[in-house]
Structure 1
Amino acid sequence: MSTISSTINALVSTISQTTSSLLPPPRRAAITRTLTDFYLTHPFLTTFLAIQLLFCGVPILLFALFAAGVFLLSAVSALVVAALVTGLWAAVALLVLVPVVVGSVVFATVVWAWLWAGVSAWRFLVGRGYVRGWQSEGSEQNETNGVKKQEGRNEDSESVEAEKKKAAAANGMVEEEEKESVEKTEVEKKVKEEKKAAECICEGDERMGGDQLEI
């Protein structure tokens, strides 16, 4: 009896605590006031609904608890079964994946080795002169580019020399013009000096003639 009473008290305290947490005192007071007003207004309907809820609520509550338990058990079972099925299929996939990965690694290694062997053989043949490879073509291109660059440099040097010659010719023409101008000035000076000398001689002759006449 003590065990039953303690269980009932614990259940009641749990229900009261849950009710207190879900329904605060002001809200409970408002609900109680509403139910009291409804009872005072419709006493027969209120008592009918209360008795129906009292007798039908227990089976409904038990059914709800049973349904919730079955749902939880089914969910847990489904999770466990899903985990087992997933693990099983993952193991089967690993059995297929591991050989495929190993074969892919071996195939990739073989392709890499053959690739470098081909490159080494090609370089050997090109180095011995058996095959004209990309190196010889590249060298020919370099040579042609070098010849073109040399021709361009020669053309540039020729153009520079031509410009120098033109400049030298222009300087020579300027020097010749300067020489001609200097010679002209010298000739003009000589002509002026000769004219002055002739005038001086004429004046001397005239003076000598005048002196003779006076004598």
Structure 2
Amino acid sequence: MKKPIKKELLNTLPVIVGGIASVVSILVFLIQFKSVEYIKFSTGILGAMLGAIVAYSIARIRTALNAPKIFISYSNNDLDFVQKLLREIEQLPVYVLFDKHELNVGDPISQKISELVDESDYFLVVISKNSSESQWIEKELENAINKKKKILPVVIDETPVPKIISDLVYADFLESFDIGVSQITKALKTSKHNNFFQRSAKNRAR
């Protein structure tokens, strides 16, 4: 099962279980009236309710399948910042490819990271003194550029942006964390996935 589907199933499972439990409870209550016609009528309504719950769940899963995927490249020494940023990004209609969530014990790190970059639509790289000293991040960035991924530079200290992406506009977290998050959000909403973000916003408003 693909991870976005699994994640969305876990999110919608309480809705499905709660809906089914409510339908069963109401049906058991109605049976006490022992009116066949009334029970048939009520069962039809309850069936429609259950159908709506299932349709809602399917719509959420379809959204997860189409959600743009973001790979985050960072130094472990910046993990506190990255986890804070991750909580914000996960509020958006995107699927985050985060190594701590995607890699398991025994996985070949280089191969798995390369596969995650392949799978991603965006490559978000956290630029800092720590990341500038990491050969892993340098290789990941080169890999993403070679695969023509959309690069989202995130600057969190005074470290210069790598020359290979020095002409790109970056999200500036030096001024404030909230401003940096808003810049990332704006970049995503004005990208090729703009229509997806608009549809997701409409679905959430319903």
Specify if TM > 0.5: no
Q: Which has the larger radius of gyration?
A: 1
**Higher helix proportion:** 1
Q: Considering Cα pairs closer than 8 Å and 6+ residues apart, tell me whether 1 or 2 has the greater RCO.
A: 2
TM class by shorter chain equals: under 0.3
**Higher strand proportion:** 2
